[in-house]
Structure 1
Amino acid sequence: MHRSASLTPPMGWNSWDSFGTTVTEDEVLANAQVMAERMLPAGWDTVVVDIQWYEPTARAGGYNDDAPLLLDADGVQMPVETRFPSSAGGRGFAPLAARVHDLGLRFGVHLMRGIPRRAVADPRPVPGTDATTADIALPADHPAARCPWNGDNLGLDFSHPAAQAWLDLQIDRVVGWGVDFLKVDDMLYPYHGDAIEALHSAVGKAEERHGRDVTVSLSPGTHLSVAHLDHLRAHADMWRISDDLWDRWDDLEAQLTRLARWAPHQQAHGWADADMLPLGRIGVRAERGEPRHSLLTAAERRTMLTLWNLGRSPLFVGGDLPSSEDDTLTDLVNTEVLDIGKHSRGNTELVREGDLVVWGATGTGPREGTRWAAVFNTSDGARTVRLPLTSTGLASPGLTSPGTVTELWTARVLDVDPSDPYAVLELDLDAHGTALLRST
């Protein structure tokens, strides 16, 4: 793969949190427009259509049993024309991808592991082979045959050479539409190593054929172990480290532990993904909950963005951008915060004592010489925290002149000198809140 698109953690918008399986072309373009106008200068550049864009009867709040799936003559999924009218006439996502590209953005789609079960039930030839689509699926009693939460596909049997041939065909067709980002689901729980390797091979061929860089994102991440790190780095650009995350403090708090495990391993072309940011207007026609603005408080929203950046997670916002509140959009484009995810090293948890958690990181590239720290209050009430500046990694006793410590969400310069080895921070933190500090 070329993989130049994942030198830093990927950033974008995904339709899942707001629209579930039901997003339309107009909604995708409306979100792309806001991203291009307001967020692209800060690095947000990818728009992703999530699951079941090929399901004519898709609805909010779950999946239909034995769903009809719109397929082409080779069994490859096609967009539903009533939701994506520009796909009419067999054009697939090419017209929509072109419009997204015209805005200066990248375009992505979601796929499930395997082959559509309707292509297996209604066999058709696999081009270039003597096999049909009925020959290349795993038998129904195989443990990898079915996804436990979605019945659209059956697993491919990669002991049959035609299985790779069909996957190559599918990925080539999708990438040929102008797709720059593939979110491929049901890959990590359990860990389907053969499917991951086959996908990597197919994407590499499609990249060469179409001259594109394609970012590969794997899901869902349940109990994902760092034992798979080397294999993941060799075959994907990003991978989820949890189940779906929603606008609940418990979901957010759990990522403190997961990102502490993965942050030391973050590097170019290989990003542990703490999942989408359920911020802004979500639940419009989604799997979970009624339409709402995110139930996370402003303090929790900033805690989330602080943690995702210090943990160098990819950033994919799930809220409907045109109807999201301005405060959320302003926080999403805070470049002082976003620079941490793009230009840092040594990202690690420094302190965990009771309801106090401290993280730190050091700047690289254009932020060389900068240090960052976050002090998190995980308790359900506001509190005042006092701790030595040396516990945050911000102290620089060797400075020949006084430095500064700034809280980045408020742009407030603190009354503390990083050159003083005995300096003590005193911070008033909201419930589930954070102070994000930078020293220079």
Structure 2
Amino acid sequence: MGWNSWDSFGTTVTEAEVLDNARFLAEHMAGAGWSTVVVDIQWYEPTARAGGYNPGAPVLLDELGVQRPVPARFPSAADGAGFAPLARQVHDLGLRFGVHLLRGIPRRAVGADLPVPGTPYRTGEIADRSSTCSWNDDNYGLDLAHPGARAWLDAQVDRVVGWGVDFLKVDDMLAPYHTDAVEALAAAVARAEDRHGREVVLSLSPGTSLSVAHLDHLRRHADLWRVSDDLWDRWDDVESQFARLARWAPHQRPGAWADADMLPLGRIGVRAERGEPRDSLLTEAERRTMLSLWCLARSPLFVGGHLPASDAATIADLTRTDVLDVLNRSTGGRELLREGDTVVWGAAGDRTLDGVRWAGIFSTASSPRRVTVPAASAGLAVGPRAGAAGAHDGARPSDGARPVLVDVWTGERVPLVPPSAATGGDHLVDVEVPAHGVRLLRLDP
């Protein structure tokens, strides 16, 4: 759970803006579990601009050919300090610090033919010039069959982790799927962790058309991985994640998380790749659908809005601990039902919330509608005369009282419709759902 600079600032974020968001996160959101601040792509490019990438950009490199922060945007990086001073300031706030890297080696490092430390090789020898990123031309791939390539990658990762980086987002790894690059990167990160005595979370992206056929490999070599291309503040983008998360959610486990991408919420587009400065175009209902789905699917949460300028309602939704309980204290989150405009997800409490169950009753319709589903189909099966506490199946009822659900977002109590001949002997969930909205329901034992 954290903040990433991309949705607001694209390639242009500054040290002051990173610290503004870090301070806001620490003061207003850390208590709900938000912990990490990530500087996204092009922190090493002096000519970075809003709205895209610069072909042949004059990226800044150190004597090893490793990227270094632009001092005009990151003043504390002057005199070769790199991100160490900024990482210290973020750590002093009680937060973790992350940066973005792109697969491979900078073309400018290859052109400069620099020595590869600890080897007789030079950077001009270790590039795979046939392996490039389709949307950014800063780098060549590395020829990982060459011993000098692995030595240079070790030097790059060691330099970055040595700054105090806790989180590495590494791009152009999964579309197409670069098996050798994933393995080499994971090994380099592990060696840097040992040398520096710190844990680094490794995140891979983008996840365009990513298949679960790669699941075992991803689990062995990464902590989280994207399952889609970039997601923006459009309903179509949110809706498309239902099917992806239905595919990935059953495989979630600690230390190996499928990531549904950043939350384009709050004030975004300040100097971003996409769109003018704006408050997120998602409605309140769509925002809550996104947060509910991400939590039920146990996706990492990285918000992209410029937090100090974001509206209070968005910040309140992002820090709802009863909603975040679904993310942090549930198990078995999965899609249970999909029929027309209705999608139903369920999850159960972990050992800290034994017996609690949640159901997300989603409607993808463009107008409000009433949704009625059997309680068992929403993972909320109760005994035929279960008590108001929602007894487990087969438990002794208490005087025929009706089980009651609570809508986590609104606090509304939602009684289950009791069994009858018309319902086929099952309790029913009967709720009004907003357009593109959700009723996130909790049943307590």
* TM-score, reference length from structure 2: 0.94
Change (3 A) 1:343 1:419: farther
CA distance in 2, matches of 1:425, 1:200: 46
Give the aligned partner of residue 178 of structure 2: 192
CA distance in 1, matches of 2:440, 2:418: 15
| Cα contact 1:345–1:363 (8 A) shared by 2 | yes
Alignment of 1:31-430 (within 5 A): 31-138=21-128, 140=129, 142=130, 145-397=131-383, 398-400=394-396, 401=398, 402=401, 403-416=403-416, 422-430=426-434
| Cα contact 1:404–1:417 (8 A) shared by 2 | no
Change (3 A) 1:364 1:69: same
CA distance in 1, matches of 2:359, 2:46: 48
Question: Is the partner of 1:373 in helix, strand or coil?
Answer: strand
| Cα contact 1:395–1:419 (8 A) shared by 2 | no
| CA RMSD between the two structures | 1.2
| Cα contact 1:395–1:418 (8 A) shared by 2 | no
Give the aligned partner of residue 3 of structure 1: none
Return 5+ residue gaps in structure 1 as ranges.
Answer: 1-10
Report the Cα offset of residue 416 of structure 1: 2.5
Residue type of the partner of 2:191? Answer: K
Change (3 A) 1:419 1:315: farther
CA distance in 2, matches of 1:365, 1:232: 27
The CA deviation string for residues 51-83 of structure 1, in whole angstroms up to 9 with x for no partner, is 000000000000011100100000000000000
Return 5+ residue gaps in structure 2 as ranges.
Answer: 384-393
The CA deviation string for residues 197-221 of structure 1, in whole angstroms up to 9 with x for no partner, is 0000110011011111100000001
Change (3 A) 1:392 1:130: same
CA distance in 2, matches of 1:424, 1:373: 13
The CA deviation string for residues 78-116 of structure 1, in whole angstroms up to 9 with x for no partner, is 000000000011000000000000000000000000000
Q: Higher relative contact order by CA 8 Å / sep ≥ 6: 1 or 2?
A: 1
Give the aligned partner of residue 439 of structure 2: 435
Give the aligned partner of residue 386 of structure 2: none
| Cα contact 2:103–2:171 (8 A) shared by 1 | yes
Structure 1 counterpart of 2:20, from 14, 30, 48: 30
Report the Cα offset of residue 404 of structure 1: 3.2
Report the Cα offset of residue 388 of structure 1: 1.8
CA distance in 2, matches of 1:251, 1:161: 42
The CA deviation string for residues 107-160 of structure 1, in whole angstroms up to 9 with x for no partner, is 00000000000000111100110100011001x3x2xx1100001110000010
Of residues 394-403 and 287-296 in structure 1, the stretch that sits farther from structure 2 once superposed is: 394-403
Tell me the number of residue pairs that the alignment of Structure 1 and Structure 2 aligns. 426
Report the Cα offset of residue 419 of structure 1: 10
Question: Is the partner of 1:410 in helix, strand or coil?
Answer: coil
Report the Cα offset of residue 418 of structure 1: 8.8
CA distance in 2, matches of 1:177, 1:365: 38
| Cα contact 2:419–2:428 (8 A) shared by 1 | no
CA distance in 2, matches of 1:196, 1:361: 32
Of residues 344-353 and 306-315 in structure 1, the stretch that sits farther from structure 2 once superposed is: 344-353
* TM-score, reference length from structure 1: 0.95
CA distance in 2, matches of 1:172, 1:388: 55
CA distance in 1, matches of 2:376, 2:173: 42
Report the Cα offset of residue 38 of structure 1: 1.1
Give the aligned partner of residue 7 of structure 1: none
